[in-house]
Amino acid sequence: MNHRITIDDSEVAFDCGPQQSVLDAALRAGIELPYSCRKGVCGNCAGTVSEGEVAGLGGPIRNDSCAPGQVLLCMCAPRTDLRLRPASWHRIDPDARKRFTAKVFRNQLAAPDVSVLQLRLPAGQRARFQAGQYLQLALPDGSTRCYSMANPPHESDALTLHVRHVPGGAFSARVAQLTTGDTLEVELPFGAVTLEADADRPFVLVVGGTGFAPAKSILDDMARRRVDRPITLIWGARHAQGIYLRPAIAKWQRQWPQPFRFIEALSGEQREGAFHGRTDAALRAHCPDLRAHALYCCGSPAMVQAVREAAHASGLAPSRFHADVFVNGPADAWAP
Ligand SMILES: Cc1cc2nc3c(=O)[nH]c(=O)nc-3n(C[C@H](O)[C@H](O)[C@H](O)COP(=O)(O)OP(=O)(O)OC[C@H]3O[C@@H](n4cnc5c(N)ncnc54)[C@H](O)[C@@H]3O)c2cc1C
């Protein structure tokens, strides 16, 4: 039996099946709530159930990455009609998500295991997305992979992806062989980040490996909009060559109106000027008091979880932790 879900202080209501996540039902009804991984890891979809009862999907209720009293809306289903208070919501513009046949324009090896892939959209076509969002790429077998846009939204005739080569990976292990003129089927945008809400606070970005891709889009976008707030970027890799786009950092350090602090965290190498250790340890060491900050984190599930714990121990409010998690497999369904 379906249950009716109403968003607090609004006229908005939608139905949700007993085995459907509240987030999924909202997205299908054209209501976008904050989300990224849809697998219970990133914590972006945390919300409050102000009336009614929910149950965990396929297990107990997950709220380890939420503020007290909240639940992950991607991991719970209604047991009764509900009233809901999500972190934010808006109506999805049905024309915003589009499919394109994109052409490889440039493909460069930025590190031994990272390709920077630049795609061009067909002449006259533009992609609309927000910094921090991602696309889905269709493989010949019909499966999909997600990749974050690394270019800022105003560069809307192109898409830049940073792809780490996963040994044996159906797409990433062969990305280096793509050449100019090859085509890829992509759909975008996906994901909903809520960075605007914290616009005045000092901002910390903690990224691991190609988790730098959405951070590059976010920071290029902020630079273009002349956002004036102190920034700290912590970028983690095993070795120095994993920090694969140093000119971008040097540029931000030159142009940012407020201090732009960059910390490279190298877990497998001691190097002068770099922090020796993981990103969560670098965060504890360099940002011991995060009570006034907002934080964006992107990387593997284990890394995001470790950074979340370090951030909360330093006083960051749970609602100001925003994450994208590079989970394996599609985070969203390829639209029919
Ligand atoms: C929202 C989102 C955004 C993403 N953005 C990016 C991005 O910008 N850049 C990027 O490089 N990746 C990104 N990813 C990960 C990406 O979608 C793929 O999962 C990854 O590239 C592997 O795909 P594949 O086809 O090469 O490997 P698959 O064929 O899917 O997997 C092959 C094997 O590798 C394992 N595997 C898959 N992924 C990983 C991994 N990350 N670490 C270890 N083992 C793995 C699988 O379990 C399997 O055994 C993102 C994921 C999500 C959900």
29-38, 68-77, 281-290: range with lowest mean pLDDT: 29-38
Region label for 272, one of left (φ > 0), alpha (ψ between -120 and 50) or beta (otherwise): beta
Which tokens go with 323?
A: 């994450």
Instruction: Say yes or no: CB of residue 216 within 6 Å of ligand 1.
Output: no
Contact call for residues 81 and 3 (beta carbons, < 8 A)? yes
On the question of pLDDT at 16 being above 50, the answer is: yes
The two structure tokens encoding residue 194: 């809520």
Pocket test for ligand 1, best of 172, 304, 322 (most atoms within 8 A of CB): 172
Cα–ligand 1 centroid distance for 225 (angstroms): 31
Residue 111 Cβ contacting ligand 1 at under 6 Å: no
Q: Is the CB of 148 under 6 A from ligand 1?
A: yes
pLDDT above 60 (res 312): yes
Q: Is the Cβ–Cβ distance between 13 and 285 less than 8 Å?
A: no
**Structure confidence at residue 95 (pLDDT):** 82
- How far the first Cα of the chain sits from its last, in Å, is 25
Residue 330: name the closest of 120, 56, 28, 36 by CA.
Answer: 36
Residue 334: predicted pLDDT: 38
Residue with token string 């889905």 = 136
pTM here is 0.88
In this prediction, residue 333 carries a pLDDT of 45
Section 40-62 average pLDDT: 87
Flag whether pLDDT at 254 surpasses 80: yes
What pLDDT, on the 0 to 100 scale, is given for residue 327? 80
CA of 24 to the centre of ligand 1 (A): 22
Band of pLDDT at residue 194, cut at 50, 70 and 90: low
pLDDT of 331 > 90? The answer is no
For residue 146 and ligand 1, the question of a CB distance below 6 A is answered with: yes
Mean pLDDT check: name the lowest of 129-133, 151-155, 210-214, 317-321.
Answer: 317-321
Instruction: Give me the mean pLDDT over the 168-181 stretch.
Output: 95
* pLDDT value at residue 329: 58
* pLDDT (mean) for 2-11: 94
Ligand 1 pocket mutation, candidates 149, 166, 210, criterion most atoms within 8 A of CB: 166
Ligand 1 atom having least distance to the Cα of 150: 8
pLDDT tens for residues 78-115? Answer: 999 999 999 889 898 878 889 999 999 999 999 999 99
Confidence of residue 45 (pLDDT cuts 50, 70, 90): confident
Residue 50 Cα to ligand 1 midpoint, Å, equals: 36
Calculate ∠ Cα 131-312-9, nearest 5°: 60
Q: Which residues contact 261 (CB under 8 A, 6 or more apart)?
A: 230, 231, 232, 233, 286
pLDDT of residue 197: 62
Q: Taking all residues of the chain, what is their mean pLDDT, rounded to a whole number?
A: 91
User: In the chain, what are the domains?
Assistant: 3-91 (3.10.20.30), 98-190 (2.40.30.10), 195-325 (3.40.50.80)
Q: What is the spatial distance between Cα 40 and Cα 95, in angstroms, rounded to a whole number?
A: 28
User: Which residue from 198, 215, 200, 205 is spatially nearest to 162, judged by alpha carbons?
Assistant: 215
| Ligand 1 centroid to residue 326 C-alpha, Å | 7
State in Å: Cα 163 to ligand 1 middle: 9
Q: What is the pLDDT of residue 335?
A: 39
Which position has the higher pLDDT, 36 or 185? Answer: 185
Residue 330 alpha carbon to ligand 1 centre in Å = 9
What percent of the chain stands above pLDDT 70? 96
- Confirm or reject: Cβ of 166 under 6 Å from ligand 1: yes
**pLDDT tens digits, residue range 275-309?**
999 999 999 999 999 999 999 999 998 999 999 99
| pLDDT confidence tier of residue 202, bands split at 50, 70 and 90 | very high
Q: Round to whole Å and give the CA distance between 284 and 259.
A: 19
Question: What are the angstrom distances between the C-alpha of 261 and each of 170, 218, 224, 249, 265?
Answer: 37, 16, 18, 10, 13
What percent of the chain lies above the pLDDT cut of 90? 72
Q: Confidence class of residue 166 from pLDDT cuts 50, 70 and 90? A: very high
